[in-house]
Amino acid sequence: MKKGFTLIELLIVIVIIGILASVAVPNYTRMVERAKAEQAVTYLKVIRTGEKIYYASNTSYTACANVGEIKSMLGAEVTDEHYRFSVASGSSTSFLATATSKMDNTTITLDQDNTYGGTSPFKP
């Protein structure tokens, strides 16, 4: 009597593991992208707060083209690891903060009235 697994038994286990992985990996990827989008939304809220403080001092909003300008003009601690951030000032009484994904160029936007928009499926 031999002890051990047959080749068929090992192949069946490998196939089952492959099926489980094919289900789990896409879900994991989606959850990682959702977490990155939630971090971007948090940064947009920080930018909005910085714009509100800037408005209180200057009676107008400011435009910022990148994270460096956002940090220096608004004092907002934002990193651009997964998303690029910018702020467009439509007039002295409005702005639109935009987070653009570096992976697929989808966007999440937030304006002075706390209204979200953009093309990302993960916006709040």
With tokens 């083209």, the residue in question is 65
**The residue type at 7:** L
Distance CA 36, CA 11 (A): 37
Q: How far apart are the first and last CA of the chain?
A: 62
Helices (H), 59-108: 67-74
> pLDDT by residue (tens digit) across 68-98?
999 999 999 999 999 999 999 878 889 999 9
> pLDDT by residue (tens digit) across 10-66?
999 999 999 999 999 999 999 999 999 999 999 999 999 999 999 999 999 999 999
Predicted model pTM:
0.82
